[in-house]
Structure 1
Amino acid sequence: MTRAGVLGVGSLGFHHARILRDVSGAEMAGVWDDDPARLAHVAQELGVRAFRSRDELLESVDAAVIAVPTTAHAEVALAALDAGVHLLIEKPIAHTLEEANAIVSTAAAKGLTVQTGHVERFNGALRACEPYLEDPRFVESHRLAPFNPRGTDVAVVLDLMIHDIDLVLGLVGRGVESLDAIGVPVLTPSADIANARINFENGAVANITASRVSFEKMRKVRFFQQSGYISLDLATGKGEFLRLKPGARLPEGSEMGMAALLGVVERVELKGDGAEPLRAELEAWILAVRGEGPLVVSGEAGRDALAVALRIMERIEQHAAAGLPARA
């Protein structure tokens, strides 16, 4: 069994600890948090051991989830790697690109596994659509959420948009050629709503919008490609793929009714297996640590998503300073 623990048991760390208790191949060693009251409460509620110090936990585990505040990721991760502990680091992988590079290089030097917590990679709808993805040329995503004070220590780009940055980087699979970005602070000093347009080296384009000041929740992504159109609702884990039926031809003429369109277009329903994405993420991580499965979201992937997110934030800051849309 792989002895596993959780460092940081706030809102998300609590759920990591909850699920790790019964992940196959893992033995839940316990949790640690620098808030003694929170630590005691979570340990009692979940029936797990509360470690008195971070180092005490690191001495007792083979693998650990890091769910402390982003600004502390590098300090905690490097201490864990020095202790020979495999890691799952919540997104973003670090506060700065320099810190992310230090984590990635240290893990490589020590032969340790680092997975980044981009949980949307394990969304059922996304997994269901993967067999139909064929070189998407345009990607559009909307991630909207009501205001929540938790997570507002960073801009919405690092809080929410980074999920979709990681998705498009992984699915397009090409380098970023240029990007435009704009953002507006509404309730906090940093951008609360932002839009980025990313141009890839192969000509593909992604248009990404994120907001944490919306009245409605939305987590949708669409892919446009030569073989058809994919629309996913990540909140429900469902979607659809629309494509021309094999052998079908569009009727001649300038007008085409809905009935005629449905006669030539095939709709493929996309639906996940209903598995909780966070559970799937933790199960995949434990398998990777044990050498029994692939590393789905590597530390390098987390660093690359952070690098693009920081470029977007830089463009937003330039726009705010100049009063003009920023370009790079």
Structure 2
Amino acid sequence: MRIGLLGTGPWARTVHAPALAGHPGVEFAGVWGRRTEAAAEIAVEHGVPAYGDVDELLAEVDAVAVALAPHAQAEVAARAAEAGRHLLLDKPVALAVPEARRVAEAVAAGGLASVVFFTLRFGGERVPWLAEQAARDDWFTARCDWLGSVFTSDSPYAESPWRRDKGALWDVGPHALSLLLPVLGDVAEVTAARGPGDTVHLVLGHTAGASSSLALSLTAPPAAAGVALELRGGSGTARLPEHGVPPVEALGHAVDALLSAADGGGPHPCDAAFGLRVVEILAAAEQALNGGATVRL
């Protein structure tokens, strides 16, 4: 599979490009970005062509790995899918439901493979742990804290305009949902409240009857940052393993998943349709934050 990279930011440069270049099952076929100089730098580093026009790259590849801001990703990903290219997407798929739906519908219409790169869903002991918990049906409630220090440290993502605008709800909220939904099932309603900085607290009512609470932030003090997931049910308590795998390795596993889906292995659980559902839940949470009431999905 020939895969092109769309994007030139820190995530594209430090994760996507080395993962694609080092994967034995694909050919890293080129890079395009809105900043042509940055695209040229990545291209030179990995010995691949840089493209000045995204359609030129699409004409030369079988799939694209997208590492763009969500609003840009949705437009380019839909174009790629409409051109018949498989998609390796970042989260969130989009910042609005209609844009995410366009991507999912284009993938479905083309019979294409798609994978959304929720980092904790690929590689390491957390993957079998999550499958084990999803196989149980007696969960009562769950708590997920995803507390980052992007805005309180020297993170290279601190100046990202979309993160400044949309905050933790849209940046780390997708990650939390990617862990909760496979275990507790779909969401029927959401209530939301604001905390310090960009911190958001959500309470989700799941269709199977369980409830969950989420604390999401990019403004936590560095000493307080971290990820925790605790599940409680009839069989006791289960906690997310602390250690995962580095992002480059995780993306390699996501590429494996894309290859399997494209080769007839069936849709991956983290496909574009799942990415759409995550966006729908986040949009409902944003509505709840702004309206001060529970929103039903």
Question: TM range, normalised to the smaller chain?
Answer: 0.7 to 0.9
How big is each residue's C-alpha offset from its partner over 1:202-233, in whole Å with a ceiling of 9 and x where there is no partner?
22011111111111320111111211211124
How big is each residue's C-alpha offset from its partner over 1:139-167, in whole Å with a ceiling of 9 and x where there is no partner?
11111111123332423111111211122
In the alignment, the residues of structure 2 paired with residue 179 and residue 131 of structure 1 have an alpha-carbon distance, to the nearest angstrom, of: 25
Answering whether residue 172 of structure 2 is matched by residue 205 of structure 1, we say no
Residue 166 (structure 2) aligns with: 154
Residue 294 (structure 2) aligns with: 327
Superposition CA RMSD, Å:
2.2
CA offset at residue 292 of structure 1?
4.7
Q: Aligned in 2, Cα 1:69/1:34: closer, same or farther, shift over 3 Å?
A: same
User: Does structure 2 retain, via aligned residues, the 8 Å contact 1:137–1:224?
Assistant: yes
In the alignment, the residues of structure 2 paired with residue 142 and residue 203 of structure 1 have an alpha-carbon distance, to the nearest angstrom, of: 21
In the alignment, the residues of structure 2 paired with residue 137 and residue 20 of structure 1 have an alpha-carbon distance, to the nearest angstrom, of: 40
User: Does structure 2 retain, via aligned residues, the 8 Å contact 1:141–1:207?
Assistant: yes
Residue 190 (structure 2) aligns with: 179
Q: Which runs of structure 2 are paired with 1:1-328 in the superposition (5 Å)?
A: 2-14=1-13, 15-130=15-130, 132-133=132-133, 134-135=136-137, 136-146=139-149, 147=151, 148-150=158-160, 151-173=163-185, 175-184=186-195, 186=197, 192-216=198-222, 217-234=225-242, 236-237=243-244, 276-292=249-265, 295-319=268-292, 326-328=293-295
CA offset at residue 293 of structure 1?
6.5
Q: Aligned in 2, Cα 1:141/1:309: closer, same or farther, shift over 3 Å?
A: same
User: Does structure 1 retain, via aligned residues, the 8 Å contact 2:29–2:49?
Assistant: yes
CA offset at residue 184 of structure 1?
4.2
CA offset at residue 112 of structure 1?
1.4
Unaligned runs of 5+ residues in structure 1 are 187-191, 238-271, 320-325
In the alignment, the residues of structure 1 paired with residue 288 and residue 207 of structure 2 have an alpha-carbon distance, to the nearest angstrom, of: 19
Q: Aligned in 2, Cα 1:315/1:16: closer, same or farther, shift over 3 Å?
A: same
Unaligned runs of 5+ residues in structure 2 are 152-157
Number of equivalences: 280
Specify the code of the residue in structure 1 equivalent to 2:220: S
- Deviating above 6 A after TM superposition, structure 1's stretches of 4 or more consecutive aligned residues are 272-275
In the alignment, the residues of structure 1 paired with residue 124 and residue 86 of structure 2 have an alpha-carbon distance, to the nearest angstrom, of: 26
In the alignment, the residues of structure 2 paired with residue 38 and residue 156 of structure 1 have an alpha-carbon distance, to the nearest angstrom, of: 27
The structure with the larger Rg is: 1
User: Does structure 1 retain, via aligned residues, the 8 Å contact 2:115–2:254?
Assistant: no
CA offset at residue 311 of structure 1?
0.6
CA offset at residue 185 of structure 1?
6.5
Determine what percentage of the aligned residue pairs are the same residue. Answer: 29
In the alignment, the residues of structure 1 paired with residue 128 and residue 235 of structure 2 have an alpha-carbon distance, to the nearest angstrom, of: 16
How big is each residue's C-alpha offset from its partner over 1:15-51, in whole Å with a ceiling of 9 and x where there is no partner?
1121011323211101110101211222222332211
Specify the code of the residue in structure 2 equivalent to 1:11: P
User: Does structure 2 retain, via aligned residues, the 8 Å contact 1:89–1:116?
Assistant: yes
Compute the TM-score of the two structures, normalised by the length of structure 2.
Answer: 0.87
In the alignment, the residues of structure 1 paired with residue 209 and residue 80 of structure 2 have an alpha-carbon distance, to the nearest angstrom, of: 40
What is the SS of the residue equivalent to 2:22? coil
In the alignment, the residues of structure 2 paired with residue 127 and residue 67 of structure 1 have an alpha-carbon distance, to the nearest angstrom, of: 23
